[in-house]
Amino acid sequence: MLSTQDTAIIPHEWYNVVPDLPRQLPPPVDRDEKNSSIQLLNRILPKTILKQEFTFQRYTKIPEEVQEIYAQIGRPTPLFRANGLEKALDYKGKILVKYEGATITGSHKINTAIPQAFYTRDEGSTGVVTETGAGQWGTATTVAASMAGITSKIFMVKVSFNQKPLRKNIMELYGGEIVPSPSTETEFGRQVLAKAPDHPGTLGIAISEAVEYALEKDLKYMLGSVFNSVLTHQSVIGLESEKQLEILGEEPDVMIGCVGGGSNFGGFVFPLMKKFKEAKIFASTASEVPKFTKGEYKYDYVDTAKILPSIKMYTLGSDFVPEKIYAGGLRYHGAAPSISMLVNSGKIKSSDVTESSVIDALKLFARSQGIVAAPESGHAIATAIEYARANGNSRETILVNVSGHGLLDMSIFQR
């Protein structure tokens, strides 16, 4: 009999939600006829990623080498019953946790960094470049690049670079080169600094810098979130959960995850949504970045310099400068088009969470379960706590995805 942590649970195929969406996904749109985004993406992305980005195929085989590395980095990640939290809340139903903090880099980001780095190597490129907010994506990129034997360069949002010095150390330890963004290394960074020398940086600016740098140095750009191919790689979270729930004999009534660009949420919820059609689904976002409640569902740019294409999503505007909250990974102005479509159609509900309730949730989770969760994941935990408190006598099973640990984010508690 399989245990919930047997490597046999690691899927052999990724799941792509696109063919199962209620409507056709609106395609990316070019800025103007002269600047074709497809041509641009062709230059900066490995061909395999580009193909996965636009496929209507439901399942894609995970290369064997990637499956082996998934086992090496800690997959399958645990799915367990959070007895301590249930007790602390006096909740009569069940709370189940899928825990992505158990991977070697401490978050789900490695699930897509590995295939992207290996496709880059297989197609003959020597290095990758990307942006990072809180540092989790940058950390995953640097270790994946080193495992693939290629170089990595990371533009890290300046406010997070200053808040989280240990992140720089770990990314360097893994073999990456890290620069705070806005930087003087790109034309766009220099333009931003000329207007605002103390600019705290945003993910939109860091993406623009990374893409400009990739184009100039003929490197490949790693997609951290938002894009379909990334959500497809992240489907390992939901596919594993499906098998683990089967082993435990559980069925979720409620599913909760946090949304920055949407990769952990989409990867978790989409494979399960097919099977548990009636489940209520909540996307937790930072109330300081209320993309679903105060944003608009429209075409907008992925990055601030408008180098990457415009996509249809919930957005606060590609020039939105969020507050300096600790959950750097949730400061992004938009959300993946597939998730945005399902929020717009009412299938996914959104829940805005304040930073102070996140801190309370992180404390309660640490004291009742012993896990120090990432501030981003603290949003999902806070939504789960709020739901359990509001429905204390219900027997519903709440499944929450905890996307990362917060052991390198301890400075949040120093304040």
Ligand X SMILES: Cc1ncc(COP(=O)(O)O)c(C=O)c1O
Q: Which residues bind ligand X (CB under 6 A)?
A: 107, 133-134, 136-137, 225, 258-265, 329-330, 374, 376-377, 403-404
Query: Which residue is nearest to ligand X, using beta carbons?
Result: 329
Q: Least distance from C-beta 84 to ligand X, angstroms?
A: 21
96 or 259: CB nearest ligand X: 259
CA neighbor of 77 nearest in space, from 246, 238, 231, 265: 238
**Phi, psi at residue 183, to the nearest 5°?**
-120, 170
94 or 372: CB nearest ligand X: 372
Q: Least distance from C-beta 395 to ligand X, angstroms?
A: 29
CA neighbor of 407 nearest in space, from 10, 62, 134, 189: 134
86 or 106: CB nearest ligand X: 106
Q: Least distance from C-beta 35 to ligand X, angstroms?
A: 26
28 or 91: CB nearest ligand X: 28
Q: Least distance from C-beta 64 to ligand X, angstroms?
A: 26
Q: Least distance from C-beta 322 to ligand X, angstroms?
A: 13
125 or 315: CB nearest ligand X: 315
86 or 210: CB nearest ligand X: 210
265 or 365: CB nearest ligand X: 265
303 or 376: CB nearest ligand X: 376
Q: Least distance from C-beta 234 to ligand X, angstroms?
A: 7
Q: Least distance from C-beta 257 to ligand X, angstroms?
A: 8
Q: Show the 3-state SS of the chain.
A: CCCCCCHHHCCCEEECCHHHCCCCCCCCECCCCCCCHHHHHHHHCCHHHHHHHHCCCCEEECCHHHHHHHHHCCCCCCEEECHHHHHHHCCCCEEEEEEHHHCCCCECCHHHHHHHHHHHHHCCCCEEEEEECCCHHHHHHHHHHHHHCCEEEEEEEHHHHHHCHHHHHHHHHCCCEEEEECCCCCHHHHHHHHHCCCCCCCHHHHHHHHHHHHHHHCCEECCCCCCHHHHHHCCHHHHHHHHHHHHHCCCCCEEEEECCCCHHHHHHHHHHHHHCCCCEEEEEEECCCCHHHHCEEEEEECCCCCCCCEEEEEECCCCCCCCCCCCHHHCCCECCHHHHHHHHCCCEEEEEECHHHHHHHHHHHHHHHCCCECHHHHHHHHHHHHHHHHCCCCCCEEEEEECEECCCCHHHHCC
Q: Least distance from C-beta 240 to ligand X, angstroms?
A: 16
Q: Least distance from C-beta 327 to ligand X, angstroms?
A: 8
Q: What angle do CA 202, 204, 209 make, to 5 degrees?
A: 95
287 or 377: CB nearest ligand X: 377
